[in-house]
Structure 1
Amino acid sequence: MTSPIFDLCDDYVTRSAALDPVGAAASGIDVEFAATSDYSPDGYAAQADLIRRTLGTLSTLEPEGEADVRAAAHLRERLEAELACHEIGEPLRAVQAPFGLLTDLRDGVDLLPHETEDDWRNVAARLAGMPEMLGSWRTSLEEGLSRGLAAARRQALELAVQAELFATGATHAGLIGSYGDGPARSALEKGAAAAYSAYAETARYLREEYAPRAAGTDAVGAERYAVNSRLNLGADIDLADAYEWGWAELARIEEELAAEAHRVRPGASVAEATAILDGTQFVEGLDAYRDWLQERHDQAIEQLHGTHFDIAEPLRRVDVTLSLGSTSGAAYYTSPSEDLSRPGRTWWPVGEGAGERFTVWNELTTVFHEGVPGHHLQLGQTRVAGESLSRFGRNSWVSGHGEGWALYAERLADELGWFTEPGTRLGMLGGSALRAARVVIDIGVHLDLPLPDGSKWTFDKACEVLRDRGRCEPHRVHAEVVRYFGWPGQAPSYKLGERAWLAAREEARQRLGADFDLRRWHTAALDLGPVGLASLADALRRVG
């Protein structure tokens, strides 16, 4: 399809990618290679200016059909949400761990093509450009401090630890080692040395220069939280109501957890059932772990295609990748490139000292979340949608929509009876408890809302709630809570998004009655592409 609105969407993606070619390429957007992106104040100002000009042009265009209506609404909602972040100075205090610019830059190296000699020279150039990119980012942070826009000291210190880890020499060693000997070897090694030096300098700056001037409190407050929540949800919601709902949802899940633990062993507590499963449901060795994950991804695709979903041929494979030495604490997904030459991948963190034994009873639910019918099916569908979606729609993201769908995918797998292996349903419920705990921790901390007993949130209290009530694995607790404190509004998007998806499906069931068809509803849902939660139900209603 072509129209002035679709053309504007295409133009925005092209111009935005030119301003941030590293981020665009890592997201799978087809963009001419450039070694670096500009993360200086001028770079961010150029992004904000592009948003304003695009919104101005959009206001003059009239939709020519339903596809245009959806494309215009989505472009407007996303750009207004992003512009609000620029206007309160968020890019000038973008210090967050474990996910943030540092990991984006690392991924911007790892996700580059590396098949031809030209590809490898691009990898070397990207590595060599790391000092420039991290230097431009530090300039923005200094500008932020001069304006009184400081990130939290905890985030600076945690990110310094991450930067030090990246500087050890192992971060890019595997990729470079896979090249072997060839004409680009010297450039790769020189580029890697420059990158490691830049990571080390970033760690020093964060610890010695930024942290002493950073904010002493972790909470971002009501204004910043509302802006960030809108960015993540695509909706303005009653946050106090969501906080109370989160506590109620957590209590509901805990009742189910207790019943499921009894099925593992009559009379067992959740902790006792977990210990039993940890000692019996595991695989040994990295190869066995990867194979187990790949087999479960493949099985999900085989079971779903032609039954509850129609899965396009290019999406009938998800590549499993183990992320060695990762500090992320959680699996994640990267979508196929626009031309589908780069496959969809799930990344599974294997931290330092992880050992050779990997428990798997609690991983199946994450397979469904990150793979199929979760992120891979949803994001992959935007890649094969062709001209029915605008280019912006094919390359944008709303966390509440996307993460909400992924939790819906876990719930759907439970409804279909897929958690039959020992302990796997307990693992699913544990994951759901984790996401409910995220709602109360994130909103409670940043808005300074009291816990049910009247006490105040602290970092230690957040860790305690996540560990004891969210059932988070002990080795993940610290990284998870650091993430919530530094990425306001993102953590609740999972559960609040799931709530929106389930409500939209129930509305369709009630409205259509006997004519409701789950496979058809799934097709319509995926064909929409990303939308904000505020318009999800209405958008689904218009397409059936």
Structure 2
Amino acid sequence: MKTRLAVALLLALSAPALVHAAPPVATAAPASVANESAADAAFRAIYEKEWAWRQAGGGEASEDGDAPESAARMPDVGPAAQQARLAVWDGVLKQLDGVDAKALSAVNQVNLAIYRDQVFNLAEEVRLRSYEMPFNSDSSFWSNLSFMARREMKTAQDHRNYIARLNDVPRYFSQQTDNMRAGLARGFSVPRAVLDGREVAISNVADLTDPTQSPLYAPFKKLPSSIPAAEQAQLQAQAREAIAGKVIPAFQQLRSFFLQEYVPKARTTLAAEAMPDGKAFYRQQIHEYTTLDLSPDEIHAIGLAEVARIQSEMNAIIKQVGFKGSFGEFLTFLRTDPQFYAKTPDELLHRAAWISKRVDGVIGRYMTLPRARFTIVPVPPDIAPFWTAGRGGMGTYWLNTYNLPARPLYNLPALTLHESDPGHALQGALAAEQGELPEFRRNSYISAYGEGWGLYCEKLGVEMGIYETPYEDFGRLTYEMWRAARLVIDTGVHSKGWSRDQALAYLRDHTALSEHEVSTEVDRYISWPGQALSYKLGEIAIVRLRAQAEKELGDQFDIKAFHDAVLQQGSVPLPVLEKQIQAFIVERRKG
């Protein structure tokens, strides 16, 4: 979920005065600023002003914890605030249209391409009123509160600000409910077909009788020793009061709305294109998540071709292990044989840690390493039933230990490579360390680039020697098939009239994913149009660019240099990555 911003700062950005707010990571201006041209200076003034405003957030927190500990309110997500944001971003786009790109330095021509697309997507999200559907079967504003509780708080004031945010939850939930009600009224909602059981995460909080059992109370179970004991007791009492008196009742009201109003009135169609302005909405989702302007038909065809290619590689492994049955029978064998499943959550976590340490032993040969490290933790139990198998980012690899018979060990190497190092954890940490890049490149995430890199890392694991058995290599292929099938399913559901059963059958018949994962993943694609397209299209681009670099550079090709060229970009649209790697090839040719 994206950080939500205050109306006051939105209006302030429209005024001549710059909002003075420190970005989340302090950075010195590049040395080249002193000698920059007038065009470069004008462009920098635009993006620095908007970025500082975007990060400041008006003293409010984001629902996923991106705001600083000083935030004392939850975000303003009401329609007036949303339209104020749109006015700001439209104003920025107009200013950018006045920038003479040819007068910019080569570096800023790249920055302009990245920044303009970033602001364009933010504006389109509001313009299409996406905020009226603030959840999907995978992620939600109510579940994301638990991540806010997991941020480090060092001082008593940090904890007081957090308590203030808890006390603001009723107002925040009320705005979200009003937005959802407006979406229902115009037929813009999560499909009814994927809503069964989604109230569980709400009930986990709504049914609490002891506020200390809430995940939101976790920061108060062990307060910093620097806070005096009397003040600790006071903070704990205030937290209990906020959770019991504000948070739990807000969740109870949300559950009533969800079950009594939202579910009964949710649309019975599946396709994004079936909603109001649905074709425009789906095309924008495609653009935002892939950074490409491909049609649904073009993406569907790419998916079918990739499925056919990967199927032949899977068949070769089945032959290698000497299995005599059909492809479907082999999948049943993988899904049911106890040898492929952990018996305890700790066993799954320990195996993931062992894979990560084996990666550590060889990864330095393939890319420059960041200073930051990551940890491995289980997915919180309140969201685990509907979450994906794992998720990673700078600092944390979340591994889902819920329903162990749905978490095959043969998939774990691919999952770990994707979510930790050299995937998301490494990519995010390296991006943050690129001090010469503007903040909007170091501290943002573009799905096609990030997920494309993660999927590429799964394939890179073959060269790194991470897959120890044919079954683990089949797990890698089933993950690649999973991403290829997404291209077919997402476009099938949202543009070609596919049913949920048709999508379930397609994923079930082509991958070794468990039945639990098949259903949760299909529901994710149905309720989150376009996001699933980013992985395979991004990976295809990186694989193609590497093949070109190997061919054109021959003996001059260096795998570590290539990976560094990809990773030092921050997070960029695929067309920008294409141009940057083409420039890398030219430079390497010069020796």
Task: Decide: shared fold, TM above 0.5.
Answer: yes
CA RMSD of aligned residues (A): 2.7
Instruction: Identify the residue that residue 129 of structure 1 maps to in structure 2.
Output: 168
Instruction: Identify the residue that residue 302 of structure 2 maps to in structure 1.
Output: 245
Partners of 1:440 and 1:422 in 2: CA distance: 27
Tell whether the 8 Å contact from 1:179 to 1:185 is kept in structure 2 after alignment: no
Over 3 Å counting, the alpha-carbon distance change for 1:105 and 1:405 in structure 2 is same
Over 3 Å counting, the alpha-carbon distance change for 1:9 and 1:24 in structure 2 is farther
Partners of 2:271 and 2:545 in 1: CA distance: 32
Larger radius of gyration: 2
Q: Secondary structure at the match of 1:428?
A: helix
Q: Secondary structure at the match of 1:121?
A: helix
- Per-residue CA shift, 1:406-462, capped at 9, x if unaligned? 00110111233321146211111111111112111111000025xxxxxxx211221
Q: Secondary structure at the match of 1:22?
A: coil
Give the CA deviation at 1:484: 0.6
Q: Secondary structure at the match of 2:222?
A: coil
Give the CA deviation at 1:79: 1.4
Match of 2:128 among 82, 88, 99: 88
Q: Identify the range of structure 1 (516-525 vs 157-166) with the bigger mean alpha-carbon deviation.
A: 157-166
Q: Which amino acid aligns with 1:223?
A: A
Match of 1:301 among 335, 339, 360: 360
Over 3 Å counting, the alpha-carbon distance change for 1:24 and 1:520 in structure 2 is farther
- Per-residue CA shift, 1:46-72, capped at 9, x if unaligned? 222221122233334456423212221
Partners of 1:154 and 1:414 in 2: CA distance: 39
Instruction: Identify the residue that residue 256 of structure 1 maps to in structure 2.
Output: 313
Aligned: 1:432 with 2:491: no
Q: Secondary structure at the match of 2:138?
A: coil
Instruction: Identify the residue that residue 515 of structure 1 maps to in structure 2.
Output: 556
Over 3 Å counting, the alpha-carbon distance change for 1:159 and 1:17 in structure 2 is farther
Q: Secondary structure at the match of 2:71?
A: coil
Over 3 Å counting, the alpha-carbon distance change for 1:229 and 1:103 in structure 2 is farther
Give the CA deviation at 1:228: 0.6
Over 3 Å counting, the alpha-carbon distance change for 1:115 and 1:264 in structure 2 is farther
Over 3 Å counting, the alpha-carbon distance change for 1:46 and 1:106 in structure 2 is farther
Instruction: Identify the residue that residue 140 of structure 1 maps to in structure 2.
Output: 179
Partners of 1:25 and 1:481 in 2: CA distance: 24
Tell whether the 8 Å contact from 1:12 to 1:392 is kept in structure 2 after alignment: no
Over 3 Å counting, the alpha-carbon distance change for 1:66 and 1:167 in structure 2 is farther
1:334-413 mapped onto 2 (5 Å cutoff): 335-336=393-394, 344-351=395-402, 354=403, 359-386=408-435, 388-413=436-461
Q: Which amino acid aligns with 1:519?
A: K
Partners of 1:505 and 1:257 in 2: CA distance: 23
Tell whether the 8 Å contact from 1:298 to 1:318 is kept in structure 2 after alignment: no
Partners of 1:516 and 1:368 in 2: CA distance: 24
Tell whether the 8 Å contact from 2:63 to 2:141 is kept in structure 1 after alignment: no
Tell whether the 8 Å contact from 1:156 to 1:206 is kept in structure 2 after alignment: no
Partners of 1:85 and 1:369 in 2: CA distance: 28
Q: TM-score, normalised by structure 1?
A: 0.88
Match of 1:200 among 252, 261, 269: 252
1:183-194 mapped onto 2 (5 Å cutoff): 183-193=234-244, 194=246
Highest RCO, 1 vs 2 (Cα 8 Å, sep ≥ 6)? 1
Q: Which amino acid aligns with 1:250?
A: V
Partners of 1:168 and 1:257 in 2: CA distance: 46
Partners of 1:356 and 1:241 in 2: CA distance: 36
- Per-residue CA shift, 1:169-210, capped at 9, x if unaligned? 465167257437733211222233332332232122122122
Give the CA deviation at 1:358: 6.3
- Per-residue CA shift, 1:279-327, capped at 9, x if unaligned? 224444333332222232232133112x11110222xx22001014213
Q: Which amino acid aligns with 1:504?
A: L
Partners of 1:125 and 1:30 in 2: CA distance: 13
Aligned: 1:270 with 2:330: yes
Partners of 1:292 and 1:177 in 2: CA distance: 31
Instruction: Identify the residue that residue 264 of structure 2 maps to in structure 1.
Output: 212
Instruction: Identify the residue that residue 529 of structure 1 maps to in structure 2.
Output: 570
Partners of 1:158 and 1:230 in 2: CA distance: 31
Give the CA deviation at 1:259: 2.3
Q: Secondary structure at the match of 2:297?
A: helix
Tell whether the 8 Å contact from 1:220 to 1:447 is kept in structure 2 after alignment: yes
Aligned: 1:109 with 2:166: no
Instruction: Identify the residue that residue 478 of structure 1 maps to in structure 2.
Output: 519
Partners of 2:339 and 2:461 in 1: CA distance: 23
Partners of 2:516 and 2:575 in 1: CA distance: 36
Q: Which amino acid aligns with 1:186?
A: A
Q: Secondary structure at the match of 1:347?
A: strand
Over 3 Å counting, the alpha-carbon distance change for 1:360 and 1:147 in structure 2 is closer
1:67-82 mapped onto 2 (5 Å cutoff): 67-82=107-122
Tell whether the 8 Å contact from 1:261 to 1:270 is kept in structure 2 after alignment: yes
Match of 1:234 among 291, 300, 304: 291
Aligned: 1:290 with 2:349: yes
Over 3 Å counting, the alpha-carbon distance change for 1:41 and 1:529 in structure 2 is same
Over 3 Å counting, the alpha-carbon distance change for 1:467 and 1:273 in structure 2 is same
Tell whether the 8 Å contact from 1:331 to 1:346 is kept in structure 2 after alignment: no
Instruction: Identify the residue that residue 179 of structure 1 maps to in structure 2.
Output: 222
Tell whether the 8 Å contact from 1:24 to 1:31 is kept in structure 2 after alignment: no
Q: Identify the range of structure 1 (6-15 vs 230-239) with the bigger mean alpha-carbon deviation.
A: 6-15
Tell whether the 8 Å contact from 1:124 to 1:187 is kept in structure 2 after alignment: yes
Give the CA deviation at 1:516: 2.0
Q: Secondary structure at the match of 1:362?
A: helix
Partners of 1:275 and 1:477 in 2: CA distance: 12
Q: Which amino acid aligns with 1:179?
A: K
Over 3 Å counting, the alpha-carbon distance change for 1:364 and 1:5 in structure 2 is same
Give the CA deviation at 1:400: 1.1
Q: Identify the range of structure 1 (294-303 vs 395-404) with the bigger mean alpha-carbon deviation.
A: 294-303
Partners of 2:438 and 2:515 in 1: CA distance: 43
Tell whether the 8 Å contact from 1:109 to 1:126 is kept in structure 2 after alignment: no
Aligned: 1:14 with 2:52: yes
- Per-residue CA shift, 1:507-539, capped at 9, x if unaligned? 222333332221111111111111112332112
Tell whether the 8 Å contact from 1:38 to 1:133 is kept in structure 2 after alignment: yes
Q: Identify the range of structure 1 (368-377 vs 146-155) with the bigger mean alpha-carbon deviation.
A: 146-155
Q: Secondary structure at the match of 1:23?
A: coil
Tell whether the 8 Å contact from 2:282 to 2:530 is kept in structure 1 after alignment: yes
Match of 2:532 among 463, 487, 491: 491
- Per-residue CA shift, 1:324-363, capped at 9, x if unaligned? 4213432444544xxxxxxx10111233xx3699642221
Tell whether the 8 Å contact from 1:17 to 1:31 is kept in structure 2 after alignment: no
Structure 1 residue runs without a partner (length 5+): 337-343, 450-456
Instruction: Identify the residue that residue 377 of structure 2 maps to in structure 1.
Output: 321
Instruction: Identify the residue that residue 453 of structure 1 maps to in structure 2.
Output: none
Partners of 2:543 and 2:141 in 1: CA distance: 33
Q: Which amino acid aligns with 2:415?
A: T
Partners of 2:486 and 2:542 in 1: CA distance: 18
Instruction: Identify the residue that residue 35 of structure 1 maps to in structure 2.
Output: 73
Give the CA deviation at 1:245: 2.0
